[in-house]
C-alpha cells in the first residue's frame, strides 16, 4: 500500500513538472510571453561622439545618428515624433528627414534647414521606437548639443581623384563664395563689381552688384550651406589628387616651359609673374602649401587647342590668394586655409571664381563663372 502511494505521488509530481513545461511552451505561442521575454533594445552609440561627450559642438548642417543593439522596426523609427530635434529653450522642432539602415542598425536625422549658431538643441528618440518583436526602448534616449558657426566638411567621394575637372557640386553656380558662417566677410571696395554668378557670404561689409538672373545668398541661407559644404569637398578633392608635377617654393608658372595640363603640386608659394598662355587642352589643378600671387597688369588665358569648353583651371593655395590689379586672370581660386582671397582693382576673372574658406575682398572686378 505504501509502495502504491509512493508511486502515485511520484506520478503526480511528474505530471506537475510536465504541466509546467507544457504551459511554458504553449505560452510562447501566445505572443505576449515572447514580448515579455525579449530584452528591450538599447541605443549603443550616438554620432557624432563629440556632441555627446562634450568634446566639441555640432556644426550648422550637422546630421545625427543612433545605433541600436538589435534589429528595429523601421516604420516605428521613421514615424513622425519618434526621432526629433528641438531648440531646447523654445521647444521648436527642427524639420528633418529620419532614415533607418537595417544592415548597420542605425537611424539618422538629417536636418532640412540649418541650425542657428550658439543655440542649444535637444535630440530625442522616444519609446515609440520598437524592435522587430514589438519591444520598445526601455526609456527615451535624450542628448543635448550646442551649434557652432561652422559648416561640416563632407567626406570627398572616391571619384573626385580625377582626371576630370574638380567637381564643384552645389558651388558650381557661384562666382563668389565665402565662409565660414558667422565668421569671414565679403568686402567690395570698388562697389562696381559685377559677378555673373551667385554670391554668398557669412556676412557682407558691402554687397557687390551681381548679374541679372542670379542670387545673393546670406550665411544663414540653406543654399549657402550646401554651396559651402561643396566648396570644402572641392578643396579636399583637389588637395587629395595625385601630383603629376612637383615644384619647390616660389614657383612662377609663367616661367615653366611647356606647361601641361595635370595636377601641379607646390611645396610653398606659387605665382604668375608675367603673361601666361595655357595651350595644352585639359584640366589644370595648381595646389600649394603656401600662397598664390600674381604680378599686376598681366593676362592669363587659353590659347592654341585649349579653350573654355575643353579646359579648366583650379588654384588651391593653402596660404590665401592675392591677384594684383588690372589682371585678366583665369580659373577658380579657392583659398583652402585661413587666409583670404583678394582681387586687385579692375582685375577680371574670365572664366573664374573667387572662393575662400576665410574671406574675399573685391575691388571693381568682373567675375564670369565657367560654362557648365
As a whole number, mean pLDDT of residues 301-330 equals 94
CA-CA distance, 75 to 99, in Å (whole number)? 9
The residue among 356 and 208 whose pLDDT is bigger is 356
CA-CA distance, 2 to 76, in Å (whole number)? 63
Mean pLDDT in the chain? Answer: 84
40-65 residue pLDDT tens: 999 999 988 778 776 678 887 788 89
Per-position DSSP letters for 29-48, written without gaps between them: TTSHHHHHHSPPP-EEEEES
Q: Quick check: 229 pLDDT over 90?
A: no
Q: Is 291:320 a contact under the CB 8 Å cutoff?
A: yes
Q: Quick check: 346 pLDDT over 80?
A: yes
CA-CA distance, 314 to 353, in Å (whole number)? 9
CA-CA distance, 65 to 45, in Å (whole number)? 8
Angle at 353 between CA 348 and CA 358, to 5 degrees: 115
Query: What is the model's pLDDT at position 204?
Result: 67
pLDDT band at 34 (very low <50, low <70, confident <90, very high): very low
Domains identified in the chain and CATH numbers: 39-146 (2.60.40.1220), 158-368 (no CATH)
Q: Quick check: 36 pLDDT over 70?
A: no
CA-CA distance, 369 to 365, in Å (whole number)? 13
Query: What is the model's pLDDT at position 159?
Result: 66
**Range of lowest pLDDT (11-25, 106-120, 185-199):** 11-25
Q: Is 263:240 a contact under the CB 8 Å cutoff?
A: no
Q: Quick check: 30 pLDDT over 60?
A: no
Q: Quick check: 133 pLDDT over 90?
A: yes
Query: What is the model's pLDDT at position 344?
Result: 97
Query: What is the model's pLDDT at position 218?
Result: 66
CA-CA distance, 66 to 43, in Å (whole number)? 6
Query: What is the model's pLDDT at position 280?
Result: 96
Amino acid at each position: 500500500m505504501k509502495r502504491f502511494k509512493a508511486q502515485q505521488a511520484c506520478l503526480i509530481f511528474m505530471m506537475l513538472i510536465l504541466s509546467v513545461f507544457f504551459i511554458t511552451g504553449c505560452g510562447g505561442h501566445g505572443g505576449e510571453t515572447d514580448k515579455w521575454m525579449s530584452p528591450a533594445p538599447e541605443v549603443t552609440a550616438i554620432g557624432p561622439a563629440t556632441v555627446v561627450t562634450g568634446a566639441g559642438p555640432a556644426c550648422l548642417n550637422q546630421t545625427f545618428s543612433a545605433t541600436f543593439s538589435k534589429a528595429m522596426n523601421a516604420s516605428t523609427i521613421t514615424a513622425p515624433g519618434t526621432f526629433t530635434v528641438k531648440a531646447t529653450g523654445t521647444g521648436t522642432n527642427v524639420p528633418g528627414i529620419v532614415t533607418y539602415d537595417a544592415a548597420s542598425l542605425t537611424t539618422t536625422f538629417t536636418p532640412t534647414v540649418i541650425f542657428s549658431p550658439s543655440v542649444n538643441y535637444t535630440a530625442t528618440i522616444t519609446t515609440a521606437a520598437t524592435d522587430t518583436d514589438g519591444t520598445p526602448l526601455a526609456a527615451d534616449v535624450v542628448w543635448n548639443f550646442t551649434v557652432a558657426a561652422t559648416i561640416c566638411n563632407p567626406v570627398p567621394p572616391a571619384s573626385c581623384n580625377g582626371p576630370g575637372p574638380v567637381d564643384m557640386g552645389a558651388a558650381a553656380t557661384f562666382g563668389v563664395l565665402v565662409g565660414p558662417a558667422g565668421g569671414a566677410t565679403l568686402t567690395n571696395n570698388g562697389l562696381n563689381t559685377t559677378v555673373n554668378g551667385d554670391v554668398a557670404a557669412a556676412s557682407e561689409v558691402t554687397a557687390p552688384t551681381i548679374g541679372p538672373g542670379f542670387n545673393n545668398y546670406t550665411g544663414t541661407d540653406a543654399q549657402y550651406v550646401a554651396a559651402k559644404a561643396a566648396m570644402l569637398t572641392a578643396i579636399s578633392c583637389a588637395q587629395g589628387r595625385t601630383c603629376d608635377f612637383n615644384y619647390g617654393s616660389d614657383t612662377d608658372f609663367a616661367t615653366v616651359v611647356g606647361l601641361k595640363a595635370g595636377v601641379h603640386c607646390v611645396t610653398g608659394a606659387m605665382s604668375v609673374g608675367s603673361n601666361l598662355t595655357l595651350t595644352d587642352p585639359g584640366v589644370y589643378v595648381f595646389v600649394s602649401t603656401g600662397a598664390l600671387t600674381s604680378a599686376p597688369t598681366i593676362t592669363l588665358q587659353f590659347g592654341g587647342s585649349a579653350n573654355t569648353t575643353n579646359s579648366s583651371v583650379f588654384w588651391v593655395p593653402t596660404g590665401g590668394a592675392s591677384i594684383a590689379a588690372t589682371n585678366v586672370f583665369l580659373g577658380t581660386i579657392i583659398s583652402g586655409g585661413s587666409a583670404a582671397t583678394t582681387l586687385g582693382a579692375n582685375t577680371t576673372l574670365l572664366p573664374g571664381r573667387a572662393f575662400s574658406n576665410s574671406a574675399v575682398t573685391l575691388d571693381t572686378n568682373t567675375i564670369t563663372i565657367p560654362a557648365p
